[in-house]
Structure 1
Amino acid sequence: MTQQIYRRFDPWRTAPVQEIDRKEVLASHYFSVDQVTYASAQNKQFTRTMLNESTGDTIAVLAMTDEGTIALIEQYRLPTHRWTLELPAGHPRDSSERPLEVAQRKLREEAGYEARSFTQFERFINTPSFSNQHTALFYAQDLTQVERGKLGPETPHHDVRLVSIDEAYDMVIAGTILDAKTVIAILRTKAGFGDLERS
């Protein structure tokens, strides 16, 4: 019987390509787009288009009420031409707004809650094949209802749905909830946080 040896994964080992040129082709408030030229180990050149975050991580908040429900926001998304159910989430207004401040602002504006406790429990790369965008997930507890703000023109009157984690999990499995950050947060919560939920 042969034994297979697996080498330990090292995400920071030497890159197999070298960046030789970068040009910004589009700049917006939250993102910029670059055309980047690389040289491979065989000295062959190729170009890729990269999406870069301009102000920092996307932030999403899984807010747990005293009744054990979480807030999901109904939003209309232009690129996919469909309504989605998502956690309260958004980007920093500028590079000076900290992740916790974004979490507090988006929970208040989109879901109509303030929380006494915020804990970051996850951070992931959204689409590593063409973007450096990260999303950080926060868990919020001890909620108080406040007046909500307004979303953008695509969803001027957004609705908030309060559902249990079990209901949210069922919606993920059924394909009702498709937004990646919301799926990841619900699955992580369903699996349990350990001491996080009791902090």
Structure 2
Amino acid sequence: MKKFEEKTISTEEIYKGRIINVQKDEVTLPNGKTASRELVKHPGAVAIIPVTKEGKIVMVEQYRKPLEQSIIEIPAGKLEPGEAPEKTAMRELEEETGYGANNFEKIYSFATSPGFADEIIHLYAATDLYQIEQPASPDEDEFVELLEVSIEEAERLVEEQQIYDAKTILAIMWAKNNLSK
């Protein structure tokens, strides 16, 4: 048994979308009482730390509607059904940056918002980058601008809240601890 496990009594589908599904679960709590949980179901995603031979991180700036602003992030994208995370990482790196990489290393996987969502992001480092002559295009509703930043510049962008998302901040922390060695 899992510590503090909540057993599902019933599930009601609230919304079925292209990227997420939302459901409401009634659960039995460890003390025997019942409670309601609103859950976001997500297929999972990858995020990539593309590192140039100069030690800079390739990032993208894009508008994020939930935040109503543009932010700078590492490339990322959702898993397609049946697609292995490493394949997704290679595809997203090409689509968002026009780069390929000879080396992909899985760093770790982490939950993004475990209080309400089941999304897991698989984080990869991509090194030995090369430019793809005719890269796959980004999704038709995706508009990005490329940047190459040093770890110090990335830390400044975090302080200025131009880098504002957890996956990118985590990637910068990893890069600072691992790339400068």
Please give the per-residue CA displacement for 1:131-163, whole angstroms capped at 9, x wherever unaligned.
11111110001111124423443x43x210011
Contact 2:48 2:75 in 1 (8 A): yes
1:12-31 pair list within 5 angstroms: 13-31=2-20
Aligned mate of 1:150, from 138, 144, 164: 138
Quote the residue 1:3 is aligned against.
none
Equivalent pair of 2:55/2:179 in contact (CA under 8 Å): no
The answer to whether residue 89 in structure 2 is matched with residue 103 in structure 1 is yes
CA-CA distance at 1:42 after TM superposition: 4.2
CA drift at 1:14: 3.0
Could you tell me which residue of structure 2 aligns to residue 71 of structure 1? 58
Count of matched residue positions in the alignment of Structure 1 and Structure 2: 179
2:106 equivalent in structure 1: 120
For the residue of structure 2 that corresponds to 1:76, the secondary structure is strand
Contact 1:169-1:190 within 8 A present in 2 as well: no
Corresponding letter in the other structure for 2:106: Q
Partner of 2:72 in structure 1? 85
| Match of residue 45 from structure 2 | 58
For structure 2, the residue ranges without an aligned partner over 5 or more in a row are none
Provide the secondary structure at the position in 1 that maps to 2:108. Answer: strand
In the TM superposition, structure 1's runs of 4+ consecutive aligned residues that sit over 3 Å from their partners are none
List gaps (5 residues or longer) in structure 1. Answer: 1-11
2:155 is the alignment partner of 1:169? yes
Report if the CA contact (8 A) 1:74-1:83 is conserved: yes
One-letter amino acid matched to 1:183: I
Structure of larger gyration radius: 1
TM superposition score normalised by structure 1: 0.82
Q: Identity, % of aligned pairs?
A: 29
Structure-1 residue corresponding to 2:177? 191
Q: What is the alpha-carbon root mean square deviation over aligned residues?
A: 1.9
